[in-house]
Structure 1
Amino acid sequence: MAQRAGLVHWHPHELRHSGASLMLAQGTPLHVVSEILGYAGIAITKDTYGHLIVDDKRAAAEAMSGALFGG
């Protein structure tokens, strides 16, 4: 399949990692990506890809700030 897509130099693990990274970058929830990857829980997914969801943390902090201090 990788050969037909012109990705012969990519290892299947790299394709899996890139797919997960792209899904998270597009806003797919962490638990959904975890399910697609076949993990039993989100812990491994969070540990591996957690650095990619900084915007979610920022949005949560801004929402909390708005709730507490208005705005």
Structure 2
Amino acid sequence: MKVKVIKNLSPAFNQLIENDILLKLNDIEVRDVNHFVDISSYLKKGNIQLEILRKGQKIMKEIIIL
């Protein structure tokens, strides 16, 4: 799923940038926007692992959901 917009002060702010491709959330492969919304609705508060593709490189990021 390609990142288009990151809301200011959201958990992903300063972690994701426009045109990143979100590959996984906590080891769950993200297929599309609807799947991302479904996965996100089940996430609990705490640390969330993101696997992204940025400029051809796979990168791991961590965000905190409060």
Q: Could you tell me the TM-score, scaled by structure 2's length? A: 0.25
By percentage of residues, which structure has more helix? 1
Larger Rg: 1
- By relative contact order (CA 8 Å, sep 6+), the higher-ranking structure is 2
By percentage of residues, which structure has more strand? 2
